């Protein structure tokens, strides 16, 4: 269980009706959040509100069919035009060869 609870989903770019973003809120379930199969953008994003402001020492992320990942953070009290700060720069989770061979497509990463 995460030391800081996710309160709710603020926004998201896409979701599969069978695997919605609300799955990210469940502490007991391992149900994924997947993009809509009809969405061809090939990029997903989600904005989450944490239960409280707190220092972030590490982040565990379970991934499935995810090639790249970037993790940004911000504060609710910031002005709307202030950009998020990059906590984890874009990292490669699957190589093009992995993608073509359908291998190494699931994993857990700690940042």
Are residue 108 and residue 74 in the same domain, yes or no? yes
Same domain membership, residue 60 and residue 48? no
pLDDT tens digits, 15-47: 999 999 998 888 776 788 888 988 888 888 999
How many distinct structural domains can be found in the chain?
Answer: 2
49-108: per-residue pLDDT in tens? 988 888 888 887 777 777 788 989 999 889 989 999 999 898 888 888 887 888 877 778
Q: b or e along 81-91 (b: 16 or more beta carbons within 10 Å of the residue's beta carbon)?
A: eeeeeeeeeee
**Spatial separation of the C-alpha atoms in residues 100 and 30, rounded to whole Å:** 26
Choosing from 35, 53, 71, the residue where a domain stops is 53
Domain containing residue 41: 1-53
Does 48 lie in the same domain as 69? Answer: no
Residues 46 and 60 in one domain: no
Question: pTM to 2 decimals?
Answer: 0.78
Q: Residue 110 maps to which CATH number?
A: 2.60.120.260
Task: State how far the Cα of 79 lies from the Cα of 94, in Å rounded to an integer.
Answer: 35
């Amino acid at each position: 269980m995460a030391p800081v609870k996710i309160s709710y989903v603020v926004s998201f770019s896409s979701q599969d009706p069978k695997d919605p973003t609300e799955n990210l809120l469940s502490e007991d379930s391992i149900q994924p959040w997947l993009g809509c199969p009809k969405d061809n953008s090939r990029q997903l994003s989600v904005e989450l509100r944490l239960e409280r402001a707190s220092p972030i020492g590490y982040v565990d992320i379970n991934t499935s069919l995810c090639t790249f990942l970037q993790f940004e953070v911000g504060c609710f009290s910031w002005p709307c035009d202030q950009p998020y700060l990059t906590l984890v720069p874009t990292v490669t989770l699957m190589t093009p060869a992995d993608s073509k061979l359908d291998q190494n497509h699931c994993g857990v990463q700690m940042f």
